[in-house]
Structure 1
């Protein structure tokens, strides 16, 4: 009878009004029980994006990127229009041709699918998971198990099966991870209900499917131990230990090793905490930080508590550092709790703190777990006004019984109640063996973390790895030892980030001169870091990436100014600063005063090279013109023209003609580079090509480089006698520098015999001839006497 009540209740919650949309397997849409044809794979991808963001507007650009990625075909915009029209007809067949859509709307380049969330199985799955947590907080394990079974029963195969595009792939990964976590939670509940054989059967399937997942192995070991099959539990540990050593060169994480130790030493039934993130196969540097963390662990064992706040931009290795430092920190009788914030947890009151404390108490203090669940349940129901006091009291009792380490990773993604109580717990560290370790990205702009400031004796900022450390990491990860040039390129591109260093080392990608665009693995790695930002922020970051491209300008600094970004985007500076605030706070933009630059050059390269080549050239040329009009220095404009590389006919050639002299003074290297391009472009106006090539000859001559070809080319084509004489002078003096006296004398003879050069130039040539006469071979000096 009890099961029937659950079934009726959930049916009332989950049934949609007339649509049933399923993504937990092949995409399926039913209307009043009748299957609708979603259509082609791409049309299904468009529908998936809109349905999984139901009741929110999705811009056309975001929709295109979600379905086709960074390199959409030219037909993408038209295809989206067609797909939306067809989907609207599918969802609302009775709608008139010209009538506005009710479910699927479009307005100002935005699309929205409006329907009850319970219509989509993904939302129903999330709702059931949340409901299971409420049953757990109430202590009703039978109800929890029933709801978890319902949630898993909604799956019909791989999520979004066969749906293409980066958005669908990201959702597949997310939903698969949630499915595994739900299966693990169900198995854990079976263990708690002493249904060990069922749990063992399900967990064996799980570890066979995901052989490197430590938490599944920990649950299987626990179930086997509880069923009196201790030797099998130890065999499971040996199997995963061997697999990890062979695949990654690592040992199991701290939680799994602690569980193994308890089974070996006591043989009693235990429930393991969720395992911390496993140590990376390669860890270098961070010596000072490791010493600090390990000393804190030693201190808490000796009865002294404290707080540590570890800060670093995403990818700096905070989680890896913590796992490395704490990998041996959990002997028998020692408790370690670990919670990790994420975007889902941020919306669940006390979710991250509950995960942390539950993992710390589960094996030895089940009564504390029950008390904690009761407090959290009451708080979520709004029936508890002293939640903070009661949670602090529970932790106080636990720490009074023995050393306790609590770790909250990704603090910035924890819920507000967790952050408030986490701050309150620091008051206990002065009197109890309690070590609190928090990790977050830099918190300069995150006011939710204000309460934590000043509470930690140690606030540690993780910066990028040094070049030597980065080189060591690359050599450890790369399948083949990189040559020095490649190694330098990888280190520079990663900007000290261990995250990017690992991926660049493991995935070959030729230098910037290569064609073909970035590998999918690198695009995915950068995309993972950019996905949390709003679409408008990513677009502005793309503009920064393009403006930051090209050769180093005359001042030797990278980056661009906010005013240049305003010029190319057409947006006010104040608006841009607000849009980029989240990227600054996350450390994606380096803090260089008035200039904007991406902290990790690999991000800029992916954003640029992920853009189709033709569009990339057009953007660089357009950006050059816009920042020139806004008054940027000429070297900044030329950097854009060279980065394209943009053709120099039309506006660029005219602009270069007007600014070449100033450019030659401010940035002679860039001037030479762009003038060499100009000389090679036959579509330039003939007169302008002569003028620009003459400047190229002057700049090469001033820098003591060989300018014979350029100056000779101009001298033979110009009608300007002054310019011809100047170019002849450059050729003659360059010959002298090259110790080619006879050739230099021949140039002088040609100029003097022509009698076309102005008198001041003839005087200079005669003086040069006097200088080189002694160096001429026997008999050659007399041949020039008459000319002089």
Structure 2
């Protein structure tokens, strides 16, 4: 490094969600000469970073009009004018074609799509207030018809962006309903249904919003308006979702009384992340569901998310580590820290409307269940939402409990202190000390293992990956005995099998096993 700041290319803001506008790096609009040069740039932006033939550009500039003999020369003039207006060499040329270079985040249409994805993610986590902020940022980008001035070339893009605009407004209404702001949601949804009376999803949301504030008559009237439009314009009756909602509202009393939820559930974990496929799999589930995974992997937090989405009015939580009488399973029952099926089998219900979530550190067998969920580590994208400290992410391997515990140690520290402390996490001894509370929870799992499996567990601290041949070699047994020990470790969620016959040990598990190897294992094991 020569001490000079690295060069940062000038960023532009291309705005096509309305009449074309381009802002320079300083935020001030650039003079694009308007007219035909603006049409040229608009078409290039439609096909950003791709080559556009001069014939296609000529057709767009003189759409519906006679093309003059000088069209190709005129086109060169328009490109020359644009190059003078835009900083850097943003418009490239080759024989018979041009293209405009657009960097990520410079085109408002791309920004709007990314904000829509971000809002959907926030809504899935029920972070409605932040979702509203993100949606409003996206909606503020619209100033009129997208790619204004283009005709047939832009039809597909205009349709896609128009649909994106509708979806954002529907997401806005969803977030407002979740925040118990139905009046605002109703205003948005009424506008949507007036603009597009054939959009059944908007009608269903409007009916739900009216229903939420007790305006049953308005909800039923909305259904009739939707049905009239569909029958008149399309010759079809409303779809299943709209019809079912209409029947539900008809069957309710004119002045429904909200049923209180009876619950002793502990609070949900703030900032819960990930587990979307598993949550989707249990949406609307009834019956017995087992949830297993290693200590700190987030089993109880996951069960509480399932409970929050269940809609069941009676919700009970029982921790079997604390002696208590088990209630009958009615509504929703969470049984935590279950050691084996015999503890709870006699308490399980045949009620088809009840949901029982059975949480255990080991994989349970012998239960009549509708689903079995084994929680694995978080994907990197989800783990990164818990911390932006790379040393934590690399040493925790996606284990949420470990990430949260190390991140908590760095909370409210100065940046230089964070860097110094995070660097220490690369040392196994320092990391184990920082994770002492979590690693202590693995002791009970280890104590429950038979002696041969305990020995293999201590020895696998030396390697993150192994196969049955290696397991047999380090334990001095044959492959058959080694396979039995590995199966025991897998049943206790201490080992995973990412590929047939290939086993893997998480960093957090290796840290615990390494402690045991040093403090309790015979010296011969260290030599081995």
TM-score when normalising by structure 1: 0.31
Larger Rg, first or second structure (1 or 2): 1
Higher relative contact order (CA 8 A, sep 6+): 2
From the two aligned structures, give the one with the greater helix fraction.
1
TM-score when normalising by structure 2: 0.46
